[in-house]
Amino acid sequence: MLLDQHERTLAQSEQALAFRSDHINALADRAGALKRLKRHEDALAAYEHVLAQRPDHLGALNECGGLNVRLGRADAALACYARALAIAPRTVELHINKGTALVALNRFEEALASFAAAAVIDPERAEAHYNAGLVRLRLGQFAAGWKNYEWRWRKADWAARRRDFSEPLWLGETPIEGRTILLHAEQGFGDTLQFVRYVPLVARRGANVILECPVELTRLLQDIKGIARIVARGDALPSFDLHCPLFSLPLAFGTTLETIPSAVPYIKASEPLLRKWATRLPGIARPRVGLVWSGSAAHLNDHNRSIPLRDLVPILRLDGLHFMSLQREVDAADAAVAREYGVTSLGHEFQDFSDTAAVVAMLDLVIAVDTSVAHLAGAMGKAVALLLPFSADWRWLLDRTDSPWYPTMRLFRQSAIGDWDGMIERVRQELGDVARRSGKAR
């Protein structure tokens, strides 16, 4: 329905422009419709047409900035924001968006200055504090970062995630021995898998722990040490005394880089599922390598983290390794590449993450982009080669090849925005050495 509406807006604006090509409102409507239709290059060109007619059009300058960031042209975005801020220097949104462009370039101190400028103009603007928190976490400044991250609940786009419990929020200040606490997953699968590590720490303080999480994770997480009861999100909750979102637990425990609870594995595959999937895996002597090359298209940063399977062909051509797809959903183009290179595909048969875990347990290595399966493999203590974009998520910190969250994970980073080829070549070279050693061992 929305798609039809955007198409209608596009058609109406183009019809208006046929009569008057410089009609500023029609030009802006056309650009907005193209953006909402995710025709990003066309939308950028359309906003530039708006600016050709009205160079001081703040909306067009702001949108050009955002689209340039989306298209991997953060330097061009900064030029747009500079022009806009010269016209309206006290516009909070422009300072925040400029900070976002600076983050995309890994210019973090400058980004913090932009978010601080926004907060000076509007001290209650949640995005300014929240975005600054993400930068501080990326810089390893955890004390300030966790505190800033709590501003997420005041962002408009988080309204649907807020839980209005009458029971008080626990952030570590009060004793919880003998009390029942609800720990609830608030974000994606990977986030839940990463922060469920805190459950045993909460239980160790004497609390009775109820964990609420997505139904796709309940079977996998039910045996985590310290969970008294697990509830699928959406099901009726038992009574409890306190609650805490999983992402607030690092703040509650005062987590620093040195005190991250990093012992793995804290997630294990079930024996019945190990036996089930053992019959499905090829009985071969070659090392088994799991592949995850894309995440949910609904993720706001998916364009920056996912790649087509075709990009991994230099790795797929290596001899001495057997590749297995862990993707639950595979489009036609990726499926064709998988068939061409003999990739075993089992992901479409996974019922939930318990099945994924059973297959991961029988692999020698997982190569993944920044998705939930990477977190799962890391939590299971499996060897993981994580493929990261130039400006990676905060949890992978800066310039590190290791992760304090997952000791068995190796991080491979783009050396420039969009440079997957150079990184994949580095992975190919290292994997080639593994395959050659394996061949000699046989």
Residue 261 contacts residue 198 (beta carbons within 8 Å): yes
Q: How many CA atoms lie within 13 A of 300 on its CB side?
A: 6
- Domain residue spans of the chain: 2-155, 167-259, 271-441
At the topology level, CATH places domain 2-155 in: 1.25.40
Architecture of domain 167-259: 3-Layer(aba) Sandwich (3.40)
How would you label 331-341 residue by residue, b for 16+ Cβ within 10 Å and e otherwise?
eeebbebbeee
Q: Which pLDDT score, from 0 to 100, does residue 407 have? A: 97
Query: Of 350, 332, 333, which is closest to residue 290 (Cα–Cα)?
Result: 350
pTM: 0.93
Name the CA radius of gyration of the chain, rounded.
24
Measured in whole angstroms, the distance separating CA 439 from the mean position of its chain's CA atoms is: 36
DSSP state, residue 236: P
Q: Would you give per-residue pLDDT tens digits along the chain (442 residues)?
A: 666 788 888 888 877 877 777 778 888 888 899 999 999 999 999 999 999 999 999 999 999 999 999 999 999 999 999 999 999 999 999 999 999 999 999 999 999 999 999 999 999 999 999 999 999 999 999 999 999 999 999 999 888 888 989 999 999 999 999 999 999 999 999 999 999 999 999 999 999 999 999 999 999 999 999 999 999 999 999 999 999 999 999 999 999 999 999 999 999 999 999 999 998 887 777 899 999 998 766 656 667 789 999 999 999 999 889 999 999 989 999 999 999 999 999 888 999 999 999 999 999 999 999 999 999 999 999 999 999 999 999 999 999 999 999 999 999 999 999 999 999 999 999 998 776 665 544 4
DSSP state, residue 169: B
CATH number for 271-441 (one of 3.40.50.2000, 1.20.1260.10, 3.40.190.100, 1.20.1250.20): it is: 3.40.50.2000
Q: Are 2-155 and 167-259 equal in CATH topology? A: no
Q: Which pLDDT score, from 0 to 100, does residue 265 have? A: 97
Q: Which pLDDT score, from 0 to 100, does residue 2 have? A: 62
